[in-house]
Structure formats: structure tokens, C-alpha cells
Structure 1
Amino acid sequence: MKQRVRAILITPDNTMLLMKRIRPGTDPYWVFVGGGVEDSDATREDALLREVREEIAGEAEIVRLLHQLENPMGETEYFYLARITQWNFDDKTGPEFQRDDRGEYLLDEIPLTNEALTAVNPLPEEITHVLHTALERGDLPTTL
């Protein structure tokens, strides 16, 4: 079974980086930076750091595993809370950016608040609910 890793990337400005996806025939939606764990990745954490480098030319520091879930394809997805201080979306290198059939990818920076999270409603819905609950309880630091 394939494993996937995703980063909840918190910036020094108390914002979160999300990938906005625009595909023909579909309403825009937001997802967390990340992707599949490859055989060449020593650990899930190494895979996540590789994905952050590929997708946003960023360097992240993993804080902790926040949540895991099984997606509709039967894959396990691991969501990590991470700090990020530098990134450059113009320097992205991931293979998905080379394909014309994948639609557009835009990097959005949103405030780390329930209101902002509701406005974009990232996928999958389960992690959005986890983030809302964590923010309401104060379990998710608003600044890392």
C-alpha cells in the first residue's frame, strides 16, 4: 500500500502555506504540500522534506506528526506539522509541474485561523476538521 506525506507548513508570519489546484471542469481546491513516499526515501520524514524541496523549493523543520488517515484509494496519509522559513515557488522542480494535464498549481499563504481555514476548506476534509479542532482547543500553536 502506498504511503503519502503532507506538510502543514507554518511560516514565521503565523500563516500556513497551501497549494491551490485549478483544473479544467473542477472548482479550485486547496491541498497541503506533499506527495508519495518513494522507495529511495529512508523515512516518511525524509520523503516529506524532499516533497517540500521539490514543490516549493523550501526547507522545512518537522515539528511532529499531527494526524494520519486512510484516503479513499486505501493509501495511508501522514500529516506533519512543520516550520518553514524559506521557500521560492518559482524554483519548484517536482515532476507534476512538468505535465500539461495536471492543471495549475498556485502557492497560497493563509492566516492560521479558523476563519481563513473555512474560507479555503483544504482537502481532505478530515484534516481540515482536525486543524479546526486543534485551533479551537489551543493544541496547535499559532506560532512555532
Structure 2
Amino acid sequence: MKQRVRAILITQDDTLLLMKRIRPDTAPYWVIIGGGVEDSDASREDALLREVREEIVGEAEIGRLFHQLENPKGETEYFYLAHITRWNFDDRTGPEFQRDDRGEYLLDEIPLSTEALASVNLLPEEISDVLREALERGDLHTTV
């Protein structure tokens, strides 16, 4: 079964980096940066660092595993809290960015607050709910 990894990227300015997706005939939505674990990856954490490098040319410090879920395709998705100190969206190299049929990928930086999270269509909905609950408890600022 395919595994996927995602990085809940918290910046030094206490914002959250998300990928905004714009596709034809679909309302815009946001996702947490990450992707599939490849056979060549030594671990899920290595896969996550590779995905952050490919998608936003970023350097992140991975904290702890924050949440795990099974997506509708039956894949296990692992969400890690991470601090990010550097990124350059213009130099991204992921294979999805080379395809014209995938729509737009835009990097979006939003405040790390329940209000800001509620204002975007973050998918999957489960992770949006879990993040907002963690923010209400004050768990995100001290766990990375």
C-alpha cells in the first residue's frame, strides 16, 4: 500500500505554508506540502525532506508525527510538524509542476490561526479539523 507524507510547515513568522490548487471546473483548495514515499527513500522522514526540496526548494526541520489518516484511495498519509527556514517556490522541481494538465500550484502563506484555517478549503477536511483543534489547545507552537 502506498504511503504519503505531508509537512505542516510553520515559518519563523508563525505562519503556515500551504499549496493552493486551482484546477478547471473545481473550486480552489489548499493542501499540505508533501507526496508519496518512494522505494529509494530511506525513511518517511527522508521522503518528506525530499518532497519539501522538490516542491518548494525548502529546508525544513522535522518535528514529530502529528497525525495519520487513511485517504479515500486507501493510502496512509502521515502528517509531520516541521519548522521551515528557507524556501524558493520559483525553483521547484517536482514532476507535477512539469505537466500542463494538473492546473495551477501556488504557494500560500497564511496566519497560523483557527480563523485563517477556517477561511481556506484545506483538504483533506480531517486534517483541517485536527489542526484547528490543536490550535485551540495551543499545541502547535510548542510541539515542533
Which TM-score tier does this pair reach, normalised by the shorter chain? Answer: over 0.9
Q: Distance in 2 between matches of 1:25 and 1:33?
A: 22
Provide the TM-score with structure 2 as the length reference.
Answer: 0.97
Secondary structure, aligned partner of 2:123? coil
Provide the TM-score with structure 1 as the length reference.
Answer: 0.97
User: Which residue of the partner structure matches residue 12 of structure 2?
Assistant: 12
AA aligned to 1:61 is E
Secondary structure, aligned partner of 1:135? helix
Which sections of structure 1, spanning at least 5 residues, go unmatched? Answer: none
AA aligned to 1:98 is Q
Alignment of 1:123-134 (within 5 A): 123-134=123-134
Q: Provide runs of 4+ in structure 1 moved above 6 Å.
A: none
Q: Deviations over 1:45-102 (max 9, x none)?
A: 0000000000000000001100000000000000000000100000100000000110
Paired residues of 2:7 and 2:32 also in contact (CA < 8 A): yes
Paired residues of 1:66 and 1:81 also in contact (CA < 8 A): yes
Deviation of residue 35 (structure 1)? 0.3
Paired residues of 2:67 and 2:78 also in contact (CA < 8 A): yes
Deviation of residue 42 (structure 1)? 0.4
Alignment of 1:24-63 (within 5 A): 24-63=24-63
Q: Identity rate of aligned residues, in percent?
A: 82
Q: Distance in 2 between matches of 1:143 and 1:20?
A: 25
Which sections of structure 2, spanning at least 5 residues, go unmatched? Answer: none
Q: Distance in 2 between matches of 1:44 and 1:143?
A: 19
Alignment length (residue pairs): 144
Paired residues of 2:55 and 2:93 also in contact (CA < 8 A): yes
Deviation of residue 142 (structure 1)? 6.9
Deviation of residue 143 (structure 1)? 9.1
Paired residues of 1:10 and 1:143 also in contact (CA < 8 A): no
